[in-house]
């Protein structure tokens, strides 16, 4: 397991804050309130471990295949339904949404290999990630991949806690399935807008792993 580069500054700042809080606690309250001092140490250490864990990149064998769409993130499948997209596409499509809790791995990966033909940032609200309107009203970053004459739109969507979406893709790039596309910090959601003829391989409430779980085939 390694730590993602997006976490370096946050982890450094959190470690410094952890040391400062406990240094102050030790010098000013350890004698009069030793139990409180220990509680501060344990609580702050648990928070520091959580921050390290949030930016983890576990070692995995990624799934690849020209006819497969793999999960772009870890999380739980919360939506599988036919929709009329609000951008790029004019025809009906399948939407598959994955909710990412703060405990999930938050690196995002390319669901397919192909050319990036569209990339757009949308400012917006910070509704909870499972809210139905989060797909169209929250801050989000949309990317469209073209592969074998098919197109897939992937939305990185901010949630109530997610305050920064990082996306590394630009139109014209040729990308590889399973490689990093970006990162969302502290709880969020990823939507995939797929062709109607996609054969979905997952179910509602199923847990998926980024770069590993096959979401669908064509």
Residue 188: active-site member: yes
Residue 201: CB partners within 8 Å, gap ≥ 6? 214, 215, 216, 217
Catalytic one of 25, 97, 134, 188: 188
Q: What is the DSSP string of 154-216?
A: EEEEE-SS--EEEE---TT-EE-TTSEEEEEESSEEEEEEE-TT-EE---TT-EE-TTTSEEE
Give the torsion through C-alpha atoms of 96, 100, 105, 107, to 10 deg: 60
Catalytic residue annotation: 188
């Amino acid at each position: 397991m390694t730590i993602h580069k997006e976490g370096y500054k946050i982890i450094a700042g959190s470690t410094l804050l952890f040391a400062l809080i406990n240094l102050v606690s030790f010098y000013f309250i350890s004698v009069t309130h030793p139990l409180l001092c220990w509680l501060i140490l344990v609580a702050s250490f648990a928070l520091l471990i959580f921050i390290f864990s949030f930016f983890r990149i576990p070692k995995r064998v990624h799934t690849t295949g020209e006819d497969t769409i793999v999960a772009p993130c870890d999380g739980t499948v919360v939506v599988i339904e036919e929709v009329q997209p609000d951008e790029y596409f004019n025809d009906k499509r399948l939407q598959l949404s994955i909710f990412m809790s703060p405990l999930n791995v938050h690196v995002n990966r390319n669901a397919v290999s192909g050319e990036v033909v569209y990339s757009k940032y949308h400012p917006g609200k910070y509704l909870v990630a499972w809210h139905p309107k989060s797909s169209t009203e929250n801050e989000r970053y949309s990317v469209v991949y073209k592969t074998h004459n098919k197109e897939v739109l992937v939305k990185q969507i901010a949630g109530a806690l997610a305050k920064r979406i990082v996306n590394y893709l630009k139109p014209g790039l040729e990308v590889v399935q399973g490689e990093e596309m970006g990162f969302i910090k502290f709880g969020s959601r990823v939507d995939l807008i797929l062709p109607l003829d996609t054969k979905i391989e997952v179910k509602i409430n199923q847990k998926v792993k980024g770069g590993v779980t096959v979401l669908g085939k064509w």
